[in-house]
Structure 1
Amino acid sequence: MSKLSAPRRIPDPPAVPPPSRCRTYAELHWIEGEIEHWIRFGAEVENVIVSRRTRIVGFDAGTLFALVRWSSNDYGTTASRIDIVRAPTADEGYTTLPFVRPGGDSLLSVRGWPKVQIVLRAIDAIEALSIDPGEVAPDYWRHLHNRIAAGQSPRDYSRARHSVWLLRRRLLS
């Protein structure tokens, strides 16, 4: 007499969406002269208007974006901040950040208007080279963050450095 084996159960697929459909969302608020959040760079793939003063933008996994947050009251600026974030894939860990869901790989996080201005000038200099800041090597944003934190001048991003990054990215993919 042959023994019948119990039917094998096929495990359910993971609850996480596939990496190609994984998105990171940034919530943007705009109340003129009080609270202003905006995206300085980054390829938005989704844009949802929640109200006249709030919208949510989505970024695909791997996308770099810069979120600028500024607020003030009757006495002047109370907070200014810029975060440069890489949207994570479904299987990567991430850091939670205010107004970013679920979070991201934080490459640069700077507070205070003088420091934010240094980052904005660096972004402008990169754009002057006709390079999309969203395509810049993530290591450069970490370098910029660390040099600002140490109170030192950051090195400029160059076309040569960008070419090396593009070659490295091609080799890693």
Structure 2
Amino acid sequence: MPVHLPPHAVLAEQTDATQLTRVSLADMERRIKLYLRFGEPACITSLDHWRRVAVFLPGAVFCRIRWQANNYGVVRWQLMVMQACTPLDVAQRIPGVLPGAQLQLHVEGEPAVRAVLAQIDAIEALGISPAAVSSAYWRTLGNRLDARLPLPAYTTERHAAWLAGRARS
């Protein structure tokens, strides 16, 4: 569970070499909802009654969902799995994510977002944190969705192989 602290409390503990990633979140009833599906922010700061900013340390993996509607219905579904960067990493510029992040998965549209949410639910059902999942798996999901192919399940065996490979490097 994230700690709700003023931003200067988190910043005071960081060195100049550490780059924090700030992620905008919002909740305007029946209009827009920007929220985190998973990820462990170092802190969350409320800006007003409908806007917040989540702050992530370098290397943290998180998922932000954007849902947007107008007077005629839902106009946008978006899901992004991202990894917070250090100043030396290459990062994509993403609206509402400062200074940017490494994009591991980006899907648009209700069917694609719902399909990925089902995969996230299945991962959590295995007792695995989605933030600990292999970045290659998130990229594979994006490629499979683009090619309109069935989505592969993330298994405990796949996760064990990912952790073993990471331990060797």
Deviations 1:41-81 (A, max 9, x none): 00110111100000000111111100000110121101110
Output the CA distance in 1 between the equivalents of 2:77 and 2:41: 22
Q: How far apart are 1:17 and its partner, in Å? A: 2.9
Output the CA distance in 2 between the equivalents of 1:69 and 1:129: 26
* TM-score, L = length of structure 2: 0.89
Output the CA distance in 2 between the equivalents of 1:103 and 1:116: 22
Q: Which of 87, 94, 97 is matched with 2:91 structurally?
A: 94
Structure 1 or 2, whichever has the larger Rg, is 1
Q: How far apart are 1:152 and its partner, in Å? A: 0.7
Output the CA distance in 2 between the equivalents of 1:32 and 1:96: 27
In structure 2, give the amino acid aligned to 1:101.
L
**Mapped pair 1:17 → 2:16:** yes
Q: How far apart are 1:27 and its partner, in Å? A: 0.3
Output the CA distance in 1 between the equivalents of 2:76 and 2:16: 35
Output the CA distance in 1 between the equivalents of 2:21 and 2:157: 31
Aligned-CA RMSD value? 1.1
Deviations 1:95-147 (A, max 9, x none): 01111111111000000011000110000000000000000000000000110
Among all aligned residue pairs of Structure 1 and Structure 2, give the percentage whose two residues are the same amino acid.
34
1:28–1:38 contact (8 Å) kept in structure 2: yes
Q: How far apart are 1:86 and its partner, in Å? A: 0.8
1:17–1:90 contact (8 Å) kept in structure 2: no
In structure 2, give the amino acid aligned to 1:24.
T
Output the CA distance in 2 between the equivalents of 1:94 and 1:118: 26
Structure 1, unaligned runs of 5 or more: 1-15
